[in-house]
A and B are shown apart, each in its own frame.
Chain A
């Protein structure tokens, strides 16, 4: 009973989450982020590798996207149901053996490559 009542407030986030494609760590994704500048709103794309997803199934679920920008590693954490995310698209599926691929942090170049996961 109480679950149904809680769902009343979570429904819109569930729908928002369901509208995004399925992705997991190792995948390269593109996140369209809404950015407010004064009164104007524009969309900025942030593309990188997903290195973890946390608290899956809850409203507070987040995922971390890592990319190398001008030789400096950048990691950005997004709440998946955030109203600031406009769209998520999967660019490339990666084949990795663990859910949190933090070993990427110390690597660059050739050793930081991820094999592509080919769909069945």
Chain B
């Protein structure tokens, strides 16, 4: 699994060659610094740790400052570990080295995007779990249009099962969207254009991997 860390810029749309208007997300991805390389001898597994996003030294814990100074780089906000960074990119992996977007991805490829979804607050079951609601406004219904209905049986089991889908906090969770197509890459500005939407708000961090 190799990838890069980025920041969501916003959405726009582009036209494909046959005239279709495709909704796209712009992500400002990289350059990421390799802050640590883990190997089997010392850590028990192979992984590459990338860091992205500038962070003020005064807001960085001393222990992290030490970690970043080992890689001879400035402190970073987002640190992500990629297990089994693909072998084809082995020449890029060296502590302190920068990885840019066009070294990892190419136009026309498919990738997965991981981000934290927008918080929706306390939501009912219709929005949160796609329940149908009651479905009828007539036949005696008057104030239960979006109610969940029954949540269990009667004297057996005499309790509500764990994990029952109910109303509650929605969003603000880690979400992965798979198979987004890379429409275009602008290496000078570290921009990548992905077809479709990516979880999270503008300026939120996104991990792109393949």
Same complex origin of A and B: yes
What separation, in Å, do the CA atoms of A9 and B189 have in the docked complex? 12
What separation, in Å, do the CA atoms of A79 and B13 have in the docked complex? 12
The answer to whether B202 touches A2 (Cβ under 8 A) is: yes
The answer to whether B28 touches A82 (Cβ under 8 A) is: no
Let me know if A13 is at the binding interface, CB within 8 A: yes
Let me know if A72 is at the binding interface, CB within 8 A: no
> How many B residues are at the interface, by size bracket?
20 to 34
The answer to whether A59 touches B12 (Cβ under 8 A) is: yes
Let me know if B10 is at the binding interface, CB within 8 A: yes
A72 CB, nearest partner CB in chain B, Å: 25
* Contact partners of B18 in chain A: CB under 8 A: 84
- Which chain A residues numbered 1 to 52 have a C-beta less than 8 Å away from chain B? 2, 5-6, 8-10, 13
A20 CB, nearest partner CB in chain B, Å: 15
> How many A residues are at the interface, by size bracket?
10 to 19
B13, B18, B24: residue with the most chain A Cβ atoms closer than 10 Å: B13
The answer to whether B19 touches A82 (Cβ under 8 A) is: yes
* Contact partners of A79 in chain B: CB under 8 A: 15, 19, 21
The verdict on A6 contacting B9 (CB below 8 Å), with A59-B21, A82-B19, A84-B19 known, is yes
The answer to whether B14 touches A59 (Cβ under 8 A) is: yes
Question: B12 touches which one: A9, A82, A83, A84 (CB < 8 A)?
Answer: A9
The answer to whether A60 touches B13 (Cβ under 8 A) is: yes
A111 CB, nearest partner CB in chain B, Å: 35
Let me know if B181 is at the binding interface, CB within 8 A: no
A33, closest chain B residue (CB)? B19
Question: B15 touches which one: A5, A6, A13, A58 (CB < 8 A)?
Answer: A13
What separation, in Å, do the CA atoms of A84 and B17 have in the docked complex? 9
